[in-house]
Homo-oligomer: A and B are copies of this chain.
Amino acid sequence: MPDPVLLVLDAEPSPRLGRLTGRVEVRYADAATLAERLPAADVLLVWDFASDAVRDAWPGPGRRPRWVHTASAGVDRLLCPELVASDTVLTNARGVFERPIAEYVAGLVLAMAKDLPGTLELQRERRWHHREGQRVAGSRAVVVGAGPIGREITRLLHGLGVTVALVGRTARRTIHGAEDLDRLAARADWVIAAAPLTDATRGMFDSRFFGLLQPSARFINVGRGASVVQADLVDALNRRWFAGAALDVFEDEPLGADSPLWDVPGLLVSPHLSGDTVGWRDRLGEQFVALYERWSRGEPLPNVVDKQRGYVPSADLDGTGDANG
């Protein structure tokens, strides 16, 4: 029997695929060649997770891989009706990004509370100007998105003495349902968006939402750019409806030099890096190799995405181990 064909979507190969040498036939594709090479593949590894190529190529003619793994937490760039309707299994990189993103959010919360951006600005001007910071302990946060990333953010902020409300799609145990969000946001010091991009979250942070916030509140998005109506956010910040925001994700990435977002007062812009700590590509490669070992032995895969919902459901999160150890 011939080795299974593993098709890798990327110019830059995963650093750990060498471990599968002799057990798999590795082929590569880019956006231009994916449609043509897809029918011959048993497994598709979406290593270039910022690409829309899968959504574009999948609906074409021919056979399709039985398993698709994406080296990302979000799967919104991949999903198309044909992939959703197929019996192809889709897995994601759960386990790699949670802690780095939670650290990044905790760092933003502390840095904004202590006005670190203002301190750096004053340093450039060689000006000694004492200001009073805010205490983080005792402040209130709402984390929107009750998946593993939102949960890790909740855990880390809680350790800093922040009172955190975690909001998911539906209420369960310690998680609030979406119906509680407005009430919780209206009294929060921090609103942190860490939700997957779905029909329910697209554009959910709009003028109506920003109008609910306290003047002292700050908004942080480490989920998906399209959950924010960017024009509404810019407008709300320009009108000082609330105190500040930080975006790590955007509708269109990378952000062009002519984007109006770069110099909105009170807006901190970072280039989609919150989850990316030294060694992250190695960890993503190791994770895929571990999943491949299970798949080749016919064992059930962890991190299986509910394609209808667009994320790994939390029942599975509670029930399965972390593929990344």
Given contacts A116-B116, A262-B123, contact A107 B110 (CB under 8 A): yes
Instruction: Type the 1/0 row for A246-285, where 1 means its CB is closer than 8 Å to any CB of B.
Output: 0000000111111100110000111111101111100000
Q: How many copies does the complex hold?
A: 2
A11 CB to closest chain B CB (Å) equals 16
Does residue A122 face the partner (Cβ distance < 8 Å to B)? yes
| B130 and A273 contact, CB distance less than 8 A | yes
| B159 and A129 contact, CB distance less than 8 A | no
| A133 and B276 contact, CB distance less than 8 A | yes
| B268 and A131 contact, CB distance less than 8 A | no
Given contacts A107-B110, A156-B160, contact A134 B257 (CB under 8 A): no
Cα separation A279 to B133 with both chains bound (whole Å) = 10
| A132 and B268 contact, CB distance less than 8 A | no
Given contacts A103-B110, A107-B111, 12 further A-B contacts (CB under 8 A): A104-B133, A106-B110, A108-B116, A111-B111, A114-B274, A128-B256, A129-B271, A130-B272, A130-B273, A133-B278, A134-B278, A135-B277
12 contacts between A and B (CB under 8 A): A100-B135, A103-B136, A103-B137, A103-B160, A106-B106, A106-B160, A123-B270, A130-B273, A132-B280, A133-B276, A133-B277, A159-B159
